[in-house]
Amino acid sequence: MDTNDQQQGQQLQIELGEKEAEGIYSNLAIITHSPAEFIIDFTRVTPGVPKARVLSRIIMTPQHMKLLIGAMKENLDRYESQYGEVRVEGAQANHPFGFRTGPVLPGGGTTSGNGGDKVH
């Protein structure tokens, strides 16, 4: 048995802690990138509240980002085949809150014009 066969036969065991199992609700993701990495900041926007805090930040390589997009597309396709098409209408189709922003800086401010800024 060569190394590839051994790797394919092994399963990765992933542990999910209690806190992580609760999950975090997010209705806004801010995606930025540099030549070396993609950054996804998850936040929650509440109507009438002009400020939101980043709840979770995920940093990954461009290669892992592409794999994640593929996995998300595959899962969305399966979801839609089971439950029907997910529709995104009106202003949400382009920019859900009518604004674009850059990444949140450690001090709480934001930058604009950074490569790849996209709000979802």
Q: What is the pLDDT of residues 36-93, one digit of tens each?
A: 999 999 999 998 999 999 999 999 999 999 999 999 999 999 999 999 999 987 655 5
pTM above 0.75, yes or no: no
Using 50, 70 and 90 to split pLDDT, how confident is the model at 110?
Answer: very low
The answer to whether residue 12 is domain-embedded is no
- Number of domains forming the structure of the chain: 1
Choice among 12-21, 70-79, 92-101 with the minimum mean pLDDT: 92-101
The answer to whether residue 11 is domain-embedded is no
- The DSSP bridge partners found for residue 41 are 30, 57
The number of angstroms, rounded, from the C-alpha of 55 to the middle of its chain's C-alpha atoms is: 12
Question: Over the chain, what is the mean pLDDT?
Answer: 81
Q: Which domain holds residue 31?
A: 21-119
The answer to whether residue 15 is domain-embedded is no
The answer to whether residue 31 is domain-embedded is yes
The H-assigned helical ranges of the chain are: 3-9, 18-22, 62-83
